[in-house]
Homo-oligomer: A and B are copies of this chain.
Amino acid sequence: MGEQEDVRWLTAEEQRAWRGFVRLHERLGGRLGRLLQSESNVSPADFAVLVNLTDTPDGRQRYQDLARALEWEKSRMSHHIARMAGRGMVVREECPEDGRGAFVVITDAGRAAIEAAAPRHVEAVRELFIDHVTPAELRVLAEVSERVIGKLDETQS
């Protein structure tokens, strides 16, 4: 039951930054998600999928590529696409070149949904976040994010 470990606990400043960061994401993510859901009837996950699909010329992408882009597990992908297909936003389509694979294809309803949702969402991101952060601060945020994510990629898993 030793109490005096040699752990380097976080300083007050470090805690402030760490907790602030975590809390900010929780609060902001929650708020934006609820807005998306209530105003456009699209969940944040749906939105992410639809954005990725509309980024491709023909609105179709392999499960695997979509999963990589979103950093989702393949099983999550599979479950989520099944649900979205149930709601008519996407369709699953066999892949001729690879018998194992499949495509996710956006439907007209899916396009309509994201075109309706995107403007309000971007507006909300601005109002709730971007507008309160200076360009210099945004640059710091971007740099820090990229650096830390880079380190995460280095250390395995």
A interface residue numbers (CB < 8 A to B): 1, 5, 7-10, 13-14, 16-18, 20-29, 31, 34, 71, 115, 118-119, 122-123, 125-130, 132-133, 135, 137-149, 151-152, 155, 157
Complex alpha-carbon distance, A84 and B58, angstroms: 48
Known: A18-B129, A137-B140, A141-B20. A122 touches B28 (CB 8 A): no
How many copies the complex holds: the figure is 2
Q: List residues of chain B with CB within 8 A of the CB of A142.
A: 13, 16-17, 20
Give the CA-CA distance A1 to B139 in the complex, in Å: 35
Q: Which of B8, B14, B118, B132 contacts A147 (CB 8 A)?
A: B132
Quick check: B146 and A27 within 8 Å, CB to CB?
no
Q: A22-B25, A133-B148 are in contact. List 4 more A-B contacts (CB 8 A).
A: A21-B145, A25-B25, A132-B144, A141-B144
